Amino acid sequence: MGKITLILKREYLTRVKKRSFIIMTILGPLLMAALFVVPVYMAQIEGDVKIIGVVDDSRVFTNRIKNTETLQFVFLSKNIEKAKKDLDSTGIFAVLHIPKTELSVPESAILYSLKQPNLILKSHIMNEMAHEIESLKLLSGGIDPQVLISIKTDVNLLTIRVDRDGAEKKSSTELSMVVGFVGGLLIYIFIFLYGSQVMRGVIEEKTSRIVEVIVSSVKPFELMMGKITGIALVGLTQFALWVLLTFIIVTGFLTVFKGDISDYKSSQFMIGNESRLTDTVPPQATTLAPGSNESVIEVFETINSINFEVIIFSFLFFFIGGYLVYAALFAAIGSAVDNETDTQQFMMPVTIPLILSIVISQFIINNPDGPAAVWLSLIPLTSPVVMMIRIPFGVPYMELALSYSFLILGFIGTTWLAAKIYRTGILMYGKKVTYRELWKWISYRPGKNSDYTIKKHLMHGSSNKDRKE
């Protein structure tokens, strides 16, 4: 155990002191914080107001296209040819031409602009025109548009989960989907990221012949376990720093810009409510009621319904357990080859279960209690991702315990299997290893002539390269 600890410290300190580790530890939180900060910051910055000239030959939409905070529509009395010629000199961003058609209501228009218009502009014009056309058609049919507007109803479906003791908790399918998928995706990425580091580290030590010096003092199994656990601690350290620094950056940003963001959100909320309510209720009824904060309270109640203690513990357990399972296999692959190019033939069978678990994540989300989801959440090669996706939807503690137990057994089994390959392959040079050769290493049983047999394997594998040297 002491030798494994020494190797663990060597692997940990060597990688933590690398410049790439320090750079990624700093860049990681900045990129993750940007996912939260940039949208909020961009939302509160008002863009330049674009002036859109409108030439309405049909006279149907005159003064009926509403302005927004960033779009202002000016109805022009000139013809379209004159408007297009003056486009560059009048400061107008674009000219909207609504031609006169044989039909009573035009259903198409042309937008002329010097620059490519964005989707917001196009969508606003199409929505305003469609709304006006629908109103005219309803009036021509003798139907009051206000009647249709008044009967439109939004239905809110509240989901409540009842446990066996009869206790009720509010739940959210959407929130469970996001939490489960993000947790499974992070485990998938970290297993590949740090597992491949184990494989590359073994290949580097093998090709540089440093491993020959190391195994003269420690057993191959101790070397493999020290390397795997050392890189695991590197991954946990980097992940913990990412979470801590991201939280500090986001919290600091929200604290500094709290007033501006609150004012912007309040104004946007008022504008959105006014635009929806003015067509359906009298102006005096558009004042927000004191209970308008109920939706915010419901959101927090839904978030509190998530059992974050189980999720955080399970995430750490499946992250470490899944990494240890795959890192042992990656270490075995690295010991069996001489360069990273030769790893492709062995990587595919090992990584297929992990890739499969993220590919079928959508099916797991749609049916988290189905037979496929249950079985895949128990198999050690797929459980780290699949079970992480299922947990926010509620998983019986018995299934969680079975998944934990099978993952531990899976780690023991893959470590035993990898050790069989590692102890022979780590000293094998100059030979293309096949699956048949790997099976010989796995099925080998030490006996009387164990030392002789191993030396024979090693000499056979390295003879061609030694002769050339």
State residue 385's pLDDT score: 92
Instruction: Answer whether residue 297 shows pLDDT above 70.
Output: no
Listed residues 134, 149, 164: the one ending a domain? 149
Same-domain check for residues 311 and 395 = yes
State residue 202's pLDDT score: 82
pLDDT tens per residue, range 325-369: 998 888 888 888 877 777 777 888 888 998 999 888 888 888 888
- Residues present in the chain in total: 469
Q: Could you tell me if residue 300 is inside a domain? A: no
The tokens describing 264, both together, are 């912007």
Same-domain check for residues 94 and 136 = yes
Q: Could you tell me if residue 267 is inside a domain? A: no
Same-domain check for residues 65 and 17 = no
Report the largest interatomic distance among the alpha carbons of the chain, rounded to a whole angstrom. Answer: 104
pLDDT tens per residue, range 298-310: 555 556 666 677 8
Distance CA 328, CA 232 (A): 11
Coil vs helix vs strand at 289: coil
Going by C-beta distance under 8 Å and a sequence separation of 6 or more, which residues neighbour residue 395?
368, 377, 387
Same-domain check for residues 321 and 224 = yes
Distance CA 179, CA 173 (A): 10
pLDDT tens per residue, range 154-209: 777 667 766 666 666 666 777 778 888 888 888 898 888 888 888 888 888 777 77
Q: Could you tell me if residue 345 is inside a domain? A: yes
Same-domain check for residues 241 and 111 = no
- In the numeric block, the tokens 């797991």 are attached to 364
Among the listed residues 175, 187, 189, 170, the one whose alpha carbon sits nearest the alpha carbon of residue 392? 175
Same-domain check for residues 56 and 28 = no
Distance CA 351, CA 193 (A): 12
pLDDT band at 405 (very low <50, low <70, confident <90, very high): very high
Same-domain check for residues 390 and 321 = yes
Instruction: Return the amino acid letter for 48.
Output: D
State residue 406's pLDDT score: 94
> Which strands form 94-98's sheet, in the order they lie side by side?
71-75, 50-56, 94-98, 110-113
Distance CA 95, CA 87 (A): 7
User: Which domain covers residue 231, as residue numbers?
Assistant: 2-34+196-251+305-468
| Domain at 84, CATH number | 3.40.190.10
CB count in 10 Å sphere of residue 243: 13
Same-domain check for residues 121 and 29 = no
Q: Could you tell me if residue 178 is inside a domain? A: no
Listed residues 92, 120, 149: the one ending a domain? 149
Q: Could you tell me if residue 362 is inside a domain? A: yes
Taking the CA atoms of residue 270, residue 274, residue 277 and residue 278 in that order, the dihedral angle to the nearest 10 degrees is 160
Listed residues 121, 149, 177: the one ending a domain? 149
State residue 43's pLDDT score: 57
Q: Could you tell me if residue 314 is inside a domain? A: yes
Same-domain check for residues 92 and 125 = yes
Same-domain check for residues 72 and 205 = no
pTM above 0.85, yes or no: no
Q: Cα dist. 150→140, 275, 284 in Å? A: 19, 14, 17
Q: In this structure, are strands 94-98 and 50-56 parallel, antiparallel, or unpaired? A: parallel
Q: Let me know: does 214 contact 427? Beta carbons within 8 Å.
A: no
Q: Could you tell me if residue 86 is inside a domain? A: yes
Query: How many domains does the chain contain in total?
Result: 2
Going by C-beta distance under 8 Å and a sequence separation of 6 or more, which residues neighbour residue 290?
none
pLDDT band at 468 (very low <50, low <70, confident <90, very high): very low
Same-domain check for residues 425 and 371 = yes
Among the listed residues 407, 385, 395, the one whose alpha carbon sits nearest the alpha carbon of residue 182? 385
pLDDT band at 402 (very low <50, low <70, confident <90, very high): very high
Q: Could you tell me if residue 245 is inside a domain? A: yes
Distance CA 339, CA 386 (A): 32
Same-domain check for residues 106 and 60 = yes
Q: Let me know: does 187 contact 390? Beta carbons within 8 Å.
A: no
The tokens describing 399, both together, are 């299934």
